[in-house]
Structures are given as structure tokens and as C-alpha cells.
Amino acid sequence: MAENQKKYGIAFCVIMIIVIVYDFYYRNEVSKKMKECSRYTIGEIKSVYTSRWMTRIKYQFQARQIRVEHNTTVGRSESEDGWWIDKEKLKERRLLIQYYCKEPKSIHKIFWSIKVPDTLSYVPFEGWKEIPYDLAENK
């Protein structure tokens, strides 16, 4: 029995190392692609819901002529509400999104720390090459 536990322990460690290495590789590849060609746009939250005790959002944004819809988990650090996430307040929020020019559906990033005001309504067809000046100050 101790022998089986040892085998399971080793297998678990090997799997964890593989997951960590893959995560590091994936993040590095995404970072390279974003540096190669990325744009910024504004996204809107379509719905806020709870799934498996976690707050999730369904959001969308426009990347050229492609409408991208995606779901993600929202943590306390993203919502700025502390322990309790105010779903109504979160639903009203607009998102600054950076997306990879060639694959906006699969590679994009939300900048939770930047608040997008309602007064900013125009987004160029190709998106912005850089974070708009007024928003960059808002970090």
C-alpha cells in the first residue's frame, strides 16, 4: 500500500510539473503574439451569473468585423468590491480589452484596473494601437 501511495505521489508531482511548464509556455507565447500585433477596444458585459459558487460574466467586443463573445470568472481583485461582488454594479461596467490581431476570439486580455467612462464611445474600426491617452492615465 505504501508503494502505491509513492507511485501516486510521483505521478501527481509529474502532472503538476507538466501543468506548470505548459502554463509558463502558453503565457510566454501569448505575450509574444500580443507584442507582435495587438489592438485595444471596448467590451461590454452582457450578463453576470454564478456558476459553481463563482461569479462569472459573459462579455462581448468587436474586433474589426468579428463579434467576439466570451465567458470568464471574476474574482475579488477584478471587481474591486472586496469579499462581496455587486453583480448589478459589475454588469454596468465597460471593459478595456487588448486582442491579438490574428486571433481575437482566442487570444485577448481584459484590463480590469482601467475604468472606461461612458463618454468614450468611438472605437476605430481597427481598434486602437495603444491604450487611449485618457484611459492610460486612469490606471
pLDDT in tens, 16-43: 999 999 888 788 888 888 888 999 999 9
Mean pLDDT, rounded, of the chain = 86
38-137 has which CATH code?
2.40.50
For the whole model, what pTM was predicted?
A: 0.78
Mean pLDDT of the region 75-96: 78
Q: What percent of the chain has pLDDT over 70?
A: 93
Write the CA distances from 30 to 49, 81, 93, integer angstroms.
28, 29, 25
Which cell numbers in the block locate residue 7?
507511485
Contact present, 39 and 101 (Cβ < 8 Å): yes
Q: Give residue 137's pLDDT.
A: 63
Contact present, 116 and 96 (Cβ < 8 Å): yes
Mean pLDDT of the region 60-82: 83
Which cell numbers in the block locate residue 90?
459589475
pLDDT in tens, 87-105: 888 888 999 999 999 999 9
Q: Where are the domains of the chain?
A: 1-36, 38-137
Q: Give residue 138's pLDDT.
A: 61
Write the CA distances from 61 to 85, 97, 114, 135, integer angstroms.
23, 8, 16, 17
